[in-house]
Amino acid sequence: MTSSSRPEWHALFAPLPDDAVVRRKPVAGLAGWEELTVELSAGPAGMRHVLVVLDKGEPISAGDWVMYCSGNPVEYVHENVGGRLNPDGSFLGTRWRTTALDVPGKEEPEPKEMASSEPTAEDVAALMALVKELLRRSKA
């Protein structure tokens, strides 16, 4: 476990659980486009969403998104990596991390940090492994 309330799969690029269901559906209004998606809940700890967009069966974009909360005071964390998969095998995307604190007496969490960066080579390799996994599972 990554924490007392988060399963190991509830982190960016973590392997998906064996029972994760890949949903495949057409993208409305775009002929030949489909999306493969896995949505997982970690209960009150948060959620994870992995998405791959296909054009005529070829992946053209992908993203891994995780949201969770922990600590006292409660800290909300949103992490994601997403972008375009180019035909030459390169990736053009962004990695984001946003945190906010639950402040007593305020309706909305108070922003603490917002940071973007270029994904590392390791990030891209891990995202590509998820793309391959979703493609494999969607054909099974």
Question: 102 with 74: CB under 8 angstroms?
Answer: yes
Report the C-alpha gap between 103 and 105 in whole angstroms.
6
Model confidence at 2, in pLDDT bands (50, 70, 90)? Answer: very low
What is residue 140's predicted lDDT score, i.e. its pLDDT? 64
Model confidence at 3, in pLDDT bands (50, 70, 90)? Answer: very low
What pairs with residue 25 in β-bridges? 35
**What count of other Cβ atoms lies within 10 Å of the Cβ of residue 120?**
11
> Could you tell me the two tokens for 20?
């994760």
pLDDT in tens, 87-129: 898 999 999 999 998 888 888 888 888 999 999 999 999 999 9
Report the C-alpha gap between 101 and 69 in whole angstroms.
9
The pTM (predicted TM-score) of the whole model is 0.86
pLDDT(133) > 60: yes
CA dihedral 7, 13, 19, 24 (to 10 degrees): 140
pLDDT(14) > 50: yes
The residue ranges of DSSP E strands in 1-140, in sequence order, are 23-26, 33-41, 46-55, 58-70, 75-85, 91-101, 110-117
